[in-house]
Amino acid sequence: MTQMTVPPRGEKWTPPHTLLLMTAEKPRPRPATQYGDTAKSVAQNVLRLRKRRDMSIYQLSAALRDAGRPITPAAVGKIEREQRQVTVDDLAALAVVLGVSPGALLLPPNDRLDSSIAVTGAGKVPAQDAWDWAEGRRPLKVPGRAEQVDPLEYLVNGVPPEQRRFRQHPVGRALEAVTDDVKIMHARLRYHLFSHPERADRLAERTRQAVERLAAEVDRLAGDLANGADQQAEGGRDGAGLD
């Protein structure tokens, strides 16, 4: 026989089965949304770009609905306040509607030579390396990690075939070298990261040589293109005489 517990004088008695139901029905607290560095960047970028385009959360929500990815105004606000995670489809639609690349949402708008960016899975990395990785130019080198992605493996696995062929072509490699050198020169001047005069001269000379190599490769490519057109024309004339 179950022993009945008598409550102290003046307190209301509650049957045990009622206490059990009350405990079972008590709502459990929802776990806090875990936001990594990249998720925080997405939230901040959505807010920044929406304001830059002078859009309200209602206008952005309407644009997303028209784009086929409806997100309510309340949900847009939660995204910006880091209270709602962004799915891959959300990210793509937000990038389309806000007129930027997905990478522009994933990374902070910072590419100074002397700065770093926190990327989920990689930690702090040089800002320009992070942007080169986001733009698909080269693999991301993670500080302190012995094993890094081989550049050739990166091209094979992470770049579409036509882009890969162009990057491996002498013209593509020469263009890459010119782009890198000019970016370094411009960034050093822009952010007042001046080097010694002799270093600046060496960098300028290296850039001029890279430009000359690029011009030579373009001329060679144009010559190959002209020869290919001549051969195609010759083949067409030969084919016409056989009919």
**The pLDDT value given to residue 241:** 44
**The pLDDT value given to residue 55:** 97
Residue 125 pLDDT exceeds 60:
yes
The predicted model gives 47-53 an average pLDDT of 97
Residue 242 pLDDT exceeds 60:
no
Each residue of 182-221: pLDDT tens digit? 888 887 777 666 667 787 888 888 889 989 998 999 999 9
Each residue of 128-143: pLDDT tens digit? 999 999 998 889 988 8
Q: For the purposes of burial, counting CB atoms within 10 Å of the CB of 149, is it exposed (0-12), middle (13-18) or buried (19 or more)?
A: middle
**The pLDDT value given to residue 103:** 94
Residue 104 pLDDT exceeds 60:
yes
The predicted model gives 77-104 an average pLDDT of 96
pTM of this structure: 0.72
pLDDT class of 179 with cuts at 50, 70, 90: confident
Q: For the purposes of burial, counting CB atoms within 10 Å of the CB of 8, is it exposed (0-12), middle (13-18) or buried (19 or more)?
A: exposed
The percent of residues in the chain predicted with pLDDT above 70, rounded, is: 80
Give CA angle at 43 (40, 45), nearest 5°. Answer: 105
**What is the pairing mode between strands 116-119 and 123-126?**
antiparallel
Q: What is the mean pLDDT of the chain?
A: 84
Residue 31 pLDDT exceeds 70:
no
- The values of phi and psi at residue 233, to 5°, are -65, -40
Residue 27 pLDDT exceeds 90:
no
**The pLDDT value given to residue 14:** 57
